[in-house]
Amino acid sequence: MTLTQEQISVNYNELSKRQRLFVDALVSTFGNSGEYSRQDILTTCEDTGIYTCPPSWITQDSRRKVSRGVYAVAEATEVQADNAPAAAVAAPAPVAAPQTVSTVPSIDLAASVMGMTGGDRATLIPDRLKTYVAWGHFSDIEKILRADIFYPCFITGLSGNGKTTMVEQVCAKLKRECFRVNITKQTDEDDLLGGFRLIDGNTVFQYGPVVEAMQKGGVLLLDEIDLASFNIMCLQPVLEGKGVYLKKTNEWIKPAPGFTVFATANTKGKGSDDGRFIGTNVLNEAFLDRFPVTLEQEYAPRSTEKKIVKKAMGALNIDDADFADHLVKWAEIIRKSFYEGAVDEIISTRRLVDVVTAYSIFDDKMTAINMAISRFDDDTKEGFLNLYTKVDADAQVATADEGDERPFEEASRLDLTVQYAEKDAVKNRGAQWDKAAKKWHITGNKYKADPTFWDQFSPAAIETAAGVAEDCPF
């Protein structure tokens, strides 16, 4: 039974130009009954090139499914089968500028939208992640999208805490197409709204992802918006929900119902004073003011983050709840120190998942942690490694003990047995004092440079020997 116009709430004139062309082509070949098999739709795609795969607005809409492999396209009943314009059967052929220009893309947007997976994707609905844990503003974003209104949101928070994934996973849950655009300083109007492209030897105007999202009523995700230059101001009318004028083709594009915008950033659009997010810019106040709300995304609380880490482990066939608990506690302590200004680096949720992945490959916890934090400077890395050994009593920073399979020079720390009278000698040779552990220590590389000298201080010793100063300041 064919769906009525009331059930679909869309008529032919409300479809985008590309959608109308496809409906015209269906009617021209298969009549205007309003019901078409998947093969009918696929044949029309192959014959016209309007879509490379069956369009998601038909096959992904559960309301349109009449029976297995049969879909309702009620809009087709408004088209006269014997009067369908012949030109509508195929997408307009591109012509050279500045002659009359076709605005119908001859390539599938799904393969070209910035930030999305390439290939012949039939839809830009993100895949649902089995390991995803919904938390934070997930429910707020879901409510916004379910409201089906235009309501731009600015999402800010430190790196690696799930801002972008959160928006994508809400779209996946609600089966909404997500047009993700990764913003850089070079991003301009041509990238966002569209421009002339050389396709098959012809110059044609290609709609940008912003215009495609507007026409399809999709979700536009502007990722890392604070990296943008003043060129981002071309989105001013888009953020007002009124539409946008394409001066290159003299078109006025109005947003379809359901279109809205999310922007993610590590800052609040005021730049980064501490240099952590180099390249971020101070965004125009008028631009920022067009976002009605700002959602501040913190790192997940311990219980939630532990679920995230355990799910990541489960996906890699790792069963170690204690390791997950230790990692989360370790990250929590480091973050607290970061917020208090005691350290300059932070362990993100993404970094914890990276540790889990490394552990699944190398089957050694300390190796995994060491690899995941080697991007930090030596002092920070060493401090983080030592902190983990205090969280996990069974863990040890690598030494030159027997059984250490890593090259000796890669061992991160060797503890020394130093008498108080000898402290200046080891200090002058580069040994460091660990106030918390009350030990002098060196790296494997330093030992390798002068093993004869360091051997007299038992560099491989684990326990503090009798007579070592328990309080040995620099």
**What is each CA distance from 172 to 124, 129, 177, 394, in whole angstroms?**
9, 9, 8, 41
Give how many domains the chain has, as a whole number: 3
Condensed to tens digits (0 to 9), the pLDDT of residues 70-100 reads 889 988 888 876 544 433 334 444 434 444 3
Condensed to tens digits (0 to 9), the pLDDT of residues 139-151 reads 999 999 999 999 9
Burial class (CB in 10 A: 0-12, 13-18, 19+), 327: buried
Is 422 domain-assigned? no
Angle among Cα 373, 379, 385 to the nearest 5 degrees reads 50
- Where on the phi/psi map is residue 438: left (φ > 0), alpha (ψ -120 to 50), or beta? left
Q: pLDDT: is 436 or 21 the higher one?
A: 21
Is 180 domain-assigned? yes
Is 56 domain-assigned? yes
Domain that holds residue 48: 5-89
Is 401 domain-assigned? no
Q: Are residues 259 and 312 in the same domain?
A: no
Helix (H, G, I), strand (E, B) or coil at 294: strand
Is 452 domain-assigned? no
| Domain final residue pick, 368, 391, 414 | 391
Q: Are residues 236 and 254 in the same domain?
A: yes
Q: Are residues 116 and 195 in the same domain?
A: yes
Q: What one-character-per-residue DSSP string does 422-469 give?
A: GHHHHHHTT-EEETTTTEEEE-HHHHHH-HHHHHTT-TT--SPPTTB-
Condensed to tens digits (0 to 9), the pLDDT of residues 259-304 reads 999 999 999 998 876 667 777 889 999 999 999 999 999 999 999 9
Residue 17 has pLDDT above 90, yes or no: no
Q: Are residues 18 and 117 in the same domain?
A: no
**Alpha helices of 129-244 — where are they, by DSSP H?**
138-146, 163-174, 189-192, 209-216, 236-239
Q: Are residues 22 and 67 in the same domain?
A: yes
Write down the pTM of the prediction.
0.61
**72-105 burial: b if 16+ Cβ within 10 Å, else e:** bbbbbbebeeeebeeebbebbebeeeeeebbbbb
| Domain final residue pick, 240, 269, 296 | 296
Q: Are residues 77 and 147 in the same domain?
A: no
Residue 23 has pLDDT above 60, yes or no: yes
Q: Are residues 18 and 156 in the same domain?
A: no
Is 456 domain-assigned? no
Is 451 domain-assigned? no
* Confidence at 122, pLDDT banded by 50, 70, 90: low
Is 203 domain-assigned? yes
Q: Are residues 257 and 331 in the same domain?
A: no
Q: Are residues 135 and 52 in the same domain?
A: no
Burial class (CB in 10 A: 0-12, 13-18, 19+), 119: exposed
Q: Are residues 212 and 347 in the same domain?
A: no
Closest CA to 142 of 168, 162, 123, 103: 168
Q: Are residues 258 and 364 in the same domain?
A: no
CATH of the domain at 276: 3.40.50.300
Closest CA to 16 of 232, 142, 177, 149: 177
Q: Are residues 145 and 215 in the same domain?
A: yes
| Domain final residue pick, 391, 418, 436 | 391
Residue 145 phi/psi, 5° resolution? -70, -35
